[in-house]
């Protein structure tokens, strides 16, 4: 009986977390019927879970539309978690210096599976800028940060990804990606055009820890009309390399 109760409690927690995850992506249509159907729950169980989360301030319900969204407590919890993360704590001052120097958006990003998660950002003062990406995930091959990180990882991991991607199908050129990652390893910097949106250029350099393991990437984003080749080569890339080296040293990495 105890084991059954424990199993039920775990399932309940999983479903509650599923609700929170769904609300991060689809808050516009997240009514009770929508959430119940999407998560394969009875309306009664979905209501009880939502009521519990609402009592803790983790979700909020619009009285007029009946749409649920993440509550202020979720935002506060996420912010406290981010502030306590050592990578963000060490990276943020460096990001601020880079953003002030070049007046472009600067991020710290990490790899989660086959996706890049943009953890933190320092925005620019430009009138025309890219949309904020903090908290969003993208396939690693769609942006410079993912390529900068994955290029320095084990080739076995890349081979497994390419095989899996090949089985799943879709528009993808494994040979071209292999060549691009090889160039990233040789030059120590990744540049991507349009992967995060038409007209958006991303540039990134990997960050390492004391064991030489890649733990993230400093990346700069900007519209293509400002991210000219000469500016990237002479200004942005040297600054990112210097920033990534300083950040890596904070984690004990010593370049030989």
CATH code of the domain in which 22 resides: 1.10.10.10
Q: Alpha carbon of 149 to those of 25, 91, 109, 184, 200: distances in Å?
A: 25, 16, 9, 9, 19
Q: Is residue 62 located within the same domain as residue 98?
A: no
pLDDT category of residue 3 using cuts at 50, 70 and 90:
very low
- Residue range 133-143: mean pLDDT, rounded: 91
Domain count, the chain: 2
Q: Which two tokens stand for residue 24?
A: 């991060």
Query: What integer pLDDT is reported at residue 75 of this predicted model?
Result: 73
Query: Residue 67 sits in which domain range?
Result: 11-76
Query: What integer pLDDT is reported at residue 5 of this predicted model?
Result: 44
Q: Is residue 4 part of a domain?
A: no
Query: What integer pLDDT is reported at residue 172 of this predicted model?
Result: 62
Q: Is residue 224 part of a domain?
A: yes
Closest CA to 147 of 118, 120, 185: 185
User: Going by DSSP bridges, is the β-strand pair 115-122/190-193 parallel, antiparallel, or unpaired?
Assistant: unpaired
Share of the chain above pLDDT 90, in %: 53
Within 13 Å and on the Cβ side, how many CA atoms surround 24?
A: 13
Q: Is residue 72 located within the same domain as residue 90?
A: no
Q: Is residue 136 located within the same domain as residue 228?
A: yes
Q: Is residue 144 part of a domain?
A: yes
Domain boundary residue, one of 76, 101, 127: 76
Q: Which helix (H) or strand (E) holds 188?
A: none
Q: Is residue 35 located within the same domain as residue 160?
A: no
């Amino acid at each position: 009986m105890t084991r059954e109760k424990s199993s039920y409690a775990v399932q309940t927690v999983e479903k509650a977390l599923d609700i929170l995850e769904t609300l991060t992506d689809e808050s516009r249509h997240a009514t009770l019927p929508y959430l119940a159907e999407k998560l394969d729950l009875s309306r009664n169980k979905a209501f009880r879970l939502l009521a519990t989360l609402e009592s803790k301030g983790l979700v909020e319900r619009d009285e007029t539309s009946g749409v649920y969204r993440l509550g202020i407590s979720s935002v506060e919890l996420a912010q406290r978690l981010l502030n306590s993360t050592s990578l963000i704590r060490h990276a943020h001052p460096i990001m601020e210096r880079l953003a002030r120097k070049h007046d472009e958006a600067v991020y710290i990003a990490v790899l989660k599976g086959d996706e890049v998660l943009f953890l933190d950002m320092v925005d620019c003062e430009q009138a025309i800028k890219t949309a904020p990406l903090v908290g969003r995930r993208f396939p690693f091959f769609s942006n410079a940060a993912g390529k900068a990180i994955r290029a320095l990882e084990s080739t076995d991991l890349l081979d497994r990804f390419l095989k899996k991607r090949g089985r799943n199908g879709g528009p993808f050129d494994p040979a071209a990606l292999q060549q691009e990652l090889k160039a990233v390893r040789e030059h120590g910097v990744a540049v991507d055009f349009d992967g995060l949106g038409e007209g958006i250029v991303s540039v990134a350099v990997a960050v390492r820890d004391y064991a030489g393991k890649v733990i993230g990437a400093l990346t700069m984003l900007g519209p293509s009309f400002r991210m000219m080749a000469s500016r990237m080569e002479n200004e942005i890339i040297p600054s990112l390399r210097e920033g990534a080296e300083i950040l890596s040293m904070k984690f004990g990495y010593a370049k030989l």
